[in-house]
Structure 1
Amino acid sequence: MSDRGTSSRKTAGAPAAAGSPLRISEAALADAARTVAGVRRRGGRRALAVGLGLAVAAFAVFAVTLSVGDMLIPVGDVLATLFGGGDAGSQFVVLELRLPRALLAVLAGAGFGMAGAVFQTVLRNPLASPDVIGISSGASAAAVLASMVFAASGLVLSASALIGALVAGVAIYVLAWRKGVVGARLVLIGLGVGFGLNSLVWYLMSRSEVSTAQNALLWLTGSLNGRSWNQVWPQLIALAVLLPLTFTAARTLRALQLGDDAASGLGARAERSRLALLACGVGLAGVSTAAAGPVAFVAFVAAPVARMLLPGRGAVLPHAALAGALLVLLADFAAQHALPGTQLPVGIVTSVVGAPYLLWLLARANRVGRGG
């Protein structure tokens, strides 16, 4: 065998020597492509399985919520009633009393969950959720102001909360702008704006009548008590508009996660894309707060739960929405039945879950040297 043939085989099969051009065989490239494709398929199957699992769990809790109450209705009868069957009593209890509340829990939870995922992913900060950085505080301040000054209620109160969230979001973005927006700066400014708005809320409550302050406090806690179809339809229509817009804007999310320079190199307009995503997140948080009040910690917790189930999958927006819906359904079921004869605001239950998680996150950040 000639020296030339031996040299050729060494060049093709062994790593290139220092100073020589790197040569990769077509077989190695094909193997790498097959490996990447296999990883993507496995990741896609896992994402589908997790999504179906969250959806099935949410539907199960949804059905149990419609079944359990002062009048116990078997789940089979509940399903029959939802599809047009059942007697008159079951139809009234399920369709008029329980279904609007359960649907609103799903819609508000999905809105909060996706809003939290958008903020935390775009700003690359686990503390960046609407209820932490002042968006929900803006909705609360506007709602309390409208109810106490103009005696607003119903849809007018919800519209006031939505406008307050949008105004707070714009103010935070403008204050955080320094030739662009950095996640840490926006979070800190949002915290400051949130504290200021909360002070305004408590000042207004201290100047109001006792009965008015009590109603405002119930709304500020986040509650689904007494909700009807009047709150469901606006939330459903708003999400039907906002969810497609969010998914469309999220096409540039992977590029933004690489940093502004890399995103620009990939053809994405980083600041415009970030602004569009943050606007969608503010809208989702605003309409959900308008429908159910500022339900604490749902936006904060839902996205990390989804990412824990799907590590390395990025924003996981649909999974965060499903996790948020499941969390609010579970919390509202506990709020209705934890204490016999008493219906608690759902925000109390979500706070019991979310506050320890916030403390754990802060302790973990300090332990690994990121807490400042």
Structure 2
Amino acid sequence: MQEERELVQIRRETWTVLCLLTLVIMALFTLLAGTYQVESGNIWSVLTGSGSALDQHIIFNQRLPRLVAAGAVGASLGLAGAIFQSVSRNPLGSPDVIGFTTGSASGALFIMLVASSMTSSDSTGLPGISIGLGAVLGGFLTAAIVLLLTSHASKNDGTSLGNQMVLIGIAVGAMLGSLNDYLLTRADLDAAESAKTWLYGSLNALTWDVVAGPVLLILFFVPATLLLTRRLRILELGDDLASSLGVPPKATLNMLVGAAVLLTALAIMLGGPISFVALIAPQLATRAWKTPGIALCQSSLLGATLLEIADYIAAHALSPFQIPVGLVMGAVGGLYLLIMLIRTR
């Protein structure tokens, strides 16, 4: 038994080191590679402020914001997905499956398209904080609707709470997806094209003006959410046992869902509705680290790693053209689900 525990611990440490090493390698690739090549020997000079002005501009103002955004968005979505899957006790309990991502996108689209038409300005002229606020409000409103309908349905049906949340979330997400399509059809052509590109999920052409605020919020809320790990572990034991241990189930559930919705909205504020990161990262992390429950910290780390890799592929697969990272993650997510179905059969 002791040897088995030691092997599991070694496995966990190995996966942690691999993820951290991959993040470092992808960071170097992202900073060096591109249409404009930066010599690998100059990278340290650039980072210390002694490189050429052009190298510093390319790395600090173009590539570094994208790199930071990819890591922050991946970590945020990985953690949000882990919370949703743990709370719902369902592997499909991901914000992009149960409609919360679509709801956040609806709130952001409303600001981008409807508010912009009312103010006679284009969507790109709106401040990022307005779009971010729309994403947060849309996510929380969707969460409130899904949780309210789930609570009502669970009283009249023998289906488990997690399954109810997934089914209702899929239905709400489908309706919100139709709303998003309607908003696109009612907008003028330029705004609709810009919003449609944003809906694919993209980290292209990000600057520090856009990245700094959301990243600082993510850097605050990710560690703060990880402090709820103990409450989540107790909640996984069942409502009755959680209550006896001094953890109120309903209040804890609302707190966890609120944190996950906020993390999802912040990620959408940065990169748009990028799918499958929140679904895949927690499941892979649980299998890789061999944790007894959903691994929160590991899911966040793996989410950042996955999105760094996907964004590098999106930026360089068809170079000099760049594709949205959401399309890459969509292809990866579809392949993952197909493999899981084959293994299950």
**TM-score, with length taken from structure 2:** 0.89
The amino acid that maps onto 1:354 is G
The amino acid that maps onto 2:84 is F
| Superposition deviation, residue 245 in structure 1 | 2.4
Tell me, which stretches of 5 or more residues in structure 2 are unaligned? 117-122
Call closer, same or farther: CA 1:185–1:76 in 2, change over 3 Å. farther
The amino acid that maps onto 1:56 is L
The separation in 2 between residues aligned to 1:249 and 1:226, in whole angstroms, is 35
| Superposition deviation, residue 74 in structure 1 | 2.8
The match for 2:59 among 94, 102, 106 is: 94
The separation in 1 between residues aligned to 2:138 and 2:90, in whole angstroms, is 24
Q: For structure 1, which segment, 194-203 or 140-149, has the greater mean C-alpha deviation from structure 2 after superposition?
A: 140-149
Stretches of 4+ moved more than 6 A in 1?
A: none
The match for 1:136 among 101, 106, 111 is: 101
Call closer, same or farther: CA 1:46–1:286 in 2, change over 3 Å. same
Residues 74 and 303, structure 2, Cα contact 8 Å, conserved in 1:
yes
Tell me, yes or no, if structure 1 residue 311 matches structure 2 residue 257: no
What's the % identity of the aligned pairs?
Answer: 34
| Superposition deviation, residue 117 in structure 1 | 1.0
- Alignment match, 1:243: 222
- Alignment match, 2:43: 78
- Alignment match, 2:250: 271
Tell me, yes or no, if structure 1 residue 116 matches structure 2 residue 81: yes
Listed one character per residue, the Cα deviations across residues 15-61 of structure 1 (whole Å, up to 9, x for unaligned) are: xxxxxxxxxxxxxxxxxxxx56x665554443333222201111110
Alignment of 1:258-337 (within 5 A): 258-337=237-316
Call closer, same or farther: CA 1:296–1:269 in 2, change over 3 Å. same
Residues 8 and 290, structure 2, Cα contact 8 Å, conserved in 1:
no
The separation in 2 between residues aligned to 1:76 and 1:56, in whole angstroms, is 20
SS at match of 1:150: helix
Listed one character per residue, the Cα deviations across residues 98-140 of structure 1 (whole Å, up to 9, x for unaligned) are: 1001110110111011111111122111111111111110111
The match for 1:160 among 134, 144, 148 is: 134
Tell me, which stretches of 5 or more residues in structure 1 are unaligned? 1-34, 368-372
Residues 54 and 319, structure 1, Cα contact 8 Å, conserved in 2:
no
- Alignment match, 2:147: 173
- Alignment match, 1:223: 202
Call closer, same or farther: CA 1:184–1:363 in 2, change over 3 Å. farther
| Superposition deviation, residue 206 in structure 1 | 1.3
Q: For structure 1, which segment, 55-64 or 233-242, has the greater mean C-alpha deviation from structure 2 after superposition?
A: 233-242
The amino acid that maps onto 2:42 is D
The separation in 2 between residues aligned to 1:299 and 1:125, in whole angstroms, is 13
Q: For structure 1, which segment, 250-259 or 187-196, has the greater mean C-alpha deviation from structure 2 after superposition?
A: 250-259
Aligned CA RMSD, in angstroms, stands at 2.1
Call closer, same or farther: CA 1:39–1:270 in 2, change over 3 Å. farther
Greater length-normalized contact order (CA 8 Å, ≥ 6 residues apart): 2
- Alignment match, 1:233: 212
Aligned length: 331
The separation in 2 between residues aligned to 1:106 and 1:251, in whole angstroms, is 25
The separation in 2 between residues aligned to 1:347 and 1:127, in whole angstroms, is 19
The separation in 2 between residues aligned to 1:211 and 1:61, in whole angstroms, is 34
| Superposition deviation, residue 361 in structure 1 | 4.0
The separation in 1 between residues aligned to 2:283 and 2:210, in whole angstroms, is 28
SS at match of 1:131: coil
Residues 245 and 280, structure 1, Cα contact 8 Å, conserved in 2:
no
- Alignment match, 1:106: 71
The amino acid that maps onto 1:293 is G
Tell me, yes or no, if structure 1 residue 210 matches structure 2 residue 189: yes
The amino acid that maps onto 1:113 is G
Residues 72 and 219, structure 2, Cα contact 8 Å, conserved in 1:
no
The amino acid that maps onto 2:276 is F
SS at match of 2:18: helix
Residues 113 and 324, structure 1, Cα contact 8 Å, conserved in 2:
yes
| Superposition deviation, residue 340 in structure 1 | 2.7
**TM-score, with length taken from structure 1:** 0.83
Residues 64 and 75, structure 1, Cα contact 8 Å, conserved in 2:
no
The separation in 2 between residues aligned to 1:120 and 1:346, in whole angstroms, is 23
| Superposition deviation, residue 76 in structure 1 | 3.8
The amino acid that maps onto 2:140 is L
- Alignment match, 2:120: none
The separation in 1 between residues aligned to 2:226 and 2:9, in whole angstroms, is 17
Structure possessing the higher radius of gyration over alpha carbons: 1
Tell me, yes or no, if structure 1 residue 201 matches structure 2 residue 201: no
The match for 1:346 among 298, 321, 325 is: 325
